[in-house]
């Protein structure tokens, strides 16, 4: 069956995209990327342009030669010398980058920041269909050895401590019955009890995906996450929220009168409810509550995720159930969130042995 001839819609060329189609493709790519990722990409590309302009005296163009990527690494990665740690970025350029706001402080970049900026340059080449210098064997070998060098010096970032049940209870006690206190209690318990949600998932939690299933029970449909960016319907998308967490969530929804949109929002002066919280605000709430509770350790928003995994292990929750809640598909990945604590005595295999007499 053939369609009738169309008079008002011109036929497209199958070998090439029209300008309108190209814009639509770019719009979909942009919409499908997270806001935080786009911000970090733009920041990294601005830095590449600024560094390249200062280092080579010309505007950056893709593809970037492999030699430039190697130079970028040695400019920004510390290495051990007879005189101590050193990197190759000239102090004059370093000062100019900091003064212009492209760089936060003088000195080498943190290892994670360096790797992220290389990854963003690689992505730019991939999108532009250019030969990718970041895939050059020399670059890959240098990055591999650089990571090992940082690891030997103990310079890689430490994983965040786990907010297991005991420290979690301590920070919950800092949440009073003010509007902010009610919100923070609900937010922390929602994030922890639903499987250790990432801060971006907490910030984007929407009431349309929340279903009340009982007096003290909800079911939250995590339709989009880091491990399910296609929004596929899966059994593990549905996160049960029971008991204290459900009670705290009910209290927040009652006091905030939220019936649509973001669940967790800013509380303005006078207790007025504002716009949705940002992922950074979620992090700040967790850190603030840890500080108020006076608990020692390296805690942040991700501590809720490692805390849930660790507590589940301590309470002998089957690993399959833990993974269903966290959304992990890899055993090795979920085990990477487990933190050895004082309560975990599994390594003391000789605790019941009698000394020789």
CATH of the domain at 23: 1.10.150.130
On whether residue 346 sits in a domain, the answer given is no
Q: Is the pTM of this model over 0.75?
A: no
* 115 three-class SS: helix
Say if residue 292 is in the same domain as residue 326: yes
- CA torsion sign for 252, 258, 264, 269 is negative
**What domain range is 310 assigned to?**
165-335
Give the pLDDT confidence of 78-106 residue by residue, as tens digits: 999 888 889 999 999 999 999 999 999 99
Say if residue 111 is in the same domain as residue 142: yes
Say if residue 272 is in the same domain as residue 146: no
CB 218 within 8 A of CB 211: yes
Say if residue 327 is in the same domain as residue 265: yes
- Compute CA 149 distance to the chain's CA centroid, rounded to the nearest angstrom: 25
* 192 three-class SS: helix
Say if residue 183 is in the same domain as residue 148: no
Say if residue 183 is in the same domain as residue 133: no
Residues 36-73 as b/e (b if ≥16 CB within 10 A, e otherwise) read: eeeeebeebbebbebbbebbeeeebeeebebebbbbbb
On whether residue 78 sits in a domain, the answer given is yes
On whether residue 11 sits in a domain, the answer given is no
The CATH number of whichever domain residue 245 belongs to comes to 1.10.443.10
Give the pLDDT confidence of 44-73 residue by residue, as tens digits: 889 999 999 999 998 989 899 999 999 999
CB 162 within 8 A of CB 303: yes
Say if residue 272 is in the same domain as residue 248: yes
Q: By mean pLDDT, which of 14-23, 122-131, 211-220, 328-337 is the weakest?
A: 14-23
**pLDDT, position 223:** 72
38 vs 96: which has the higher pLDDT: 96
**pLDDT, position 144:** 94
Say if residue 269 is in the same domain as residue 323: yes
Q: By mean pLDDT, which of 90-94, 217-221, 313-317 is the weakest?
A: 313-317
On whether residue 301 sits in a domain, the answer given is yes
- Number of Cα atoms under 13 Å in the Cβ half of residue 306: 19
**pLDDT, position 349:** 42
**pLDDT, position 321:** 81
In the predicted model, what is the mean pLDDT of residues 223-247?
73
Say if residue 225 is in the same domain as residue 106: no
On whether residue 119 sits in a domain, the answer given is yes
Give the pLDDT confidence of 134-180 residue by residue, as tens digits: 999 999 999 999 999 988 887 766 667 788 888 899 999 999 999 99
Q: How far apart are the first and last CA of the chain?
A: 95
């Amino acid at each position: 069956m053939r369609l009738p001839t169309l008079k008002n819609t011109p036929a497209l060329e199958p070998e090439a995209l029209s300008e309108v189609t190209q814009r639509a493709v770019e719009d979909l790519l942009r919409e499908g990327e997270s806001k935080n990722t786009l911000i970090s990409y733009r920041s990294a590309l601005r830095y590449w342009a600024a560094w390249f302009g200062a280092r080579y005296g010309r505007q950056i163009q893709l593809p970037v030669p492999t030699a430039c990527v190697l130079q970028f690494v040695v400019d920004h990665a510390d290495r051990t010398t007879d005189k101590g740690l050193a990197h190759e970025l000239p102090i004059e350029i370093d000062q100019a980058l900091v003064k212009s706001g492209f760089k936060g402080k003088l000195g080498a970049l943190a290892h994670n920041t360096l790797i992220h900026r290389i990854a963003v340059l690689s992505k730019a080449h991939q999108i532009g269909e250019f030969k990718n210098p970041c895939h050059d064997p020399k670059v890959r070998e240098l990055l591999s050895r650089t990571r090992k060098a940082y690891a030997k010096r103990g310079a890689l970032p430490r994983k965040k401590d786990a907010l297991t049940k005991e420290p979690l209870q301590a920070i919950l006690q800092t949440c009073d019955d003010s509007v902010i206190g009610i919100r923070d209690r609900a937010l922390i318990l929602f994030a922890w009890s639903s499987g250790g949600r990432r801060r971006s998932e907490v910030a984007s939690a929407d009431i349309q995906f929340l279903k009340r299933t009982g007096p003290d029970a909800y079911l939250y449909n995590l339709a989009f996450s880091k491990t399910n960016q296609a929004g596929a319907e899966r059994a593990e998308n549905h996160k049960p929220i029971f008991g204290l967490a459900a009670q705290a969530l009910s209290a927040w929804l009652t006091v905030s009168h939220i019936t649509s949109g973001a669940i967790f929002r800013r509380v303005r002066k006078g207790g007025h409810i504002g716009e949705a919280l940002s992922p950074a605000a979620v992090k700040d709430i967790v850190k603030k509550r840890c500080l108020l509770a006076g608990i020692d350790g390296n805690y942040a928003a991700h501590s809720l995720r490692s805390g849930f995994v660790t507590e589940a292990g301590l309470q002998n929750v089957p690993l399959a159930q833990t993974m269903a809640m966290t959304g992990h598909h890899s055993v090795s990945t979920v085990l990477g969130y487990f933190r050895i604590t004082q309560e975990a005595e599994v390594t003391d295999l000789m605790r019941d042995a009698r000394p020789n007499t």
